[in-house]
Amino acid sequence: TTNALMLRFAASRKKLAAGRYRPAYHFVSPESQMNDPNGLCFWQGRWHLFYQGYPPDEFPASADIPRRRQHWGHAVSDDLAHWRDLPYAIYPGMERMCFSGSTVVESNQVVAFYPGIDAGQMVAVSKDPLLLNWEKIAGNPVRSPTGDSCIWKEGDAYFGLVGADCLVSSKNLVDWTVHGGFLEGNPFPLGDAGACPNFVPIGNKHLLLSFSHTTGGQYLLGDYDKRSHKFKPYAHGRFNHGTVSPGGVHAPSAVADGKGGVVNVLNINDAKPSPDWDQIMSLAQRMTLGPDSQLR
């Protein structure tokens, strides 16, 4: 009720709500434009959605929207349908912009792994109940290849994908070892679908979700060998069955739901541009593995 940024968000939402094409149900940024969802996770009883937010602080004029810098915006939900705004979570520091990555939830903290433009790969950690405060760990940027990325944990080691095929691992989140190619015997050429990777278990299989700037959001479904750390896909599908724009379904942000399924949110670009905002989030979709080991 007193936070200046939250009051600004509320005023912006009230003003923009008058727009004829402003969605009333799908999540949309409280101000300015937005882009990819990032780091969807479940932490201490709530779902957290992060996204590429573009605060107008440095460039308030609508004509300067393209100059605004990406931060990680933040919203929270109890049910994946009703979202409440929270302040921007991760701000640029030594990096010029905070691009698309993901999070891994541990018992005592949530870790974000993302590319910091003009700096390198970044790691940030939050431990508070609403994930309001993020600390970039000492040594940022970390010693890792840089790019759109995802992160998970196996035992005492962190693993990450940078793009859709570069596997890295670390014991301390600072020093990352490059393991090379992640995909094994992939019969489905990915083309440029290496953006916004998300790698998650589903049933007894795994999903690799990503984004192509020409064909939109898509996935590979297959088997993951934890000994060799190789992923062998046997099925491929798209979330976007038309062109990538206008109105195309873009980047995924996915997380295992703890019940054998996966929750996924994607951003959708504008089909009717507005001078004040663009892009919305899809409704959250729950994906499961069918009896034929195909995606439902």
Range from 59-63, 92-96, 120-124, 140-144 carrying the lowest mean pLDDT: 59-63
pLDDT confidence tier of residue 275, bands split at 50, 70 and 90: confident
- Largest Cα–Cα separation, the chain: 55
Mean pLDDT of all residues in the chain? 95
Amino acid at 2: T
Neighbouring CB atoms inside 10 A of 184's CB total: 15
Token reading at 200 = 């998650």
Strands 285-287 and 280-281: unpaired
Cα separations (Å) of 144 from 67, 73, 149, 260?
28, 24, 11, 31
Does residue 224 surpass a pLDDT of 90? yes
d(CA 102, CA 161) in angstroms, rounded, equals: 10
pTM as predicted: 0.96
Q: Mind listing the pLDDT tens digit for each residue in 108-166?
A: 999 999 999 999 999 999 999 999 999 999 878 999 999 999 999 999 999 999 999 99
What pLDDT was estimated at residue 251? 96
d(CA 1, CA 267) in angstroms, rounded, equals: 29
What pLDDT was estimated at residue 138? 83
**CB of 277 closer than 8 Å to CB of 267:** no
Range from 50-59, 62-71, 252-261 carrying the lowest mean pLDDT: 62-71
DSSP 143: B
Does residue 63 surpass a pLDDT of 90? no
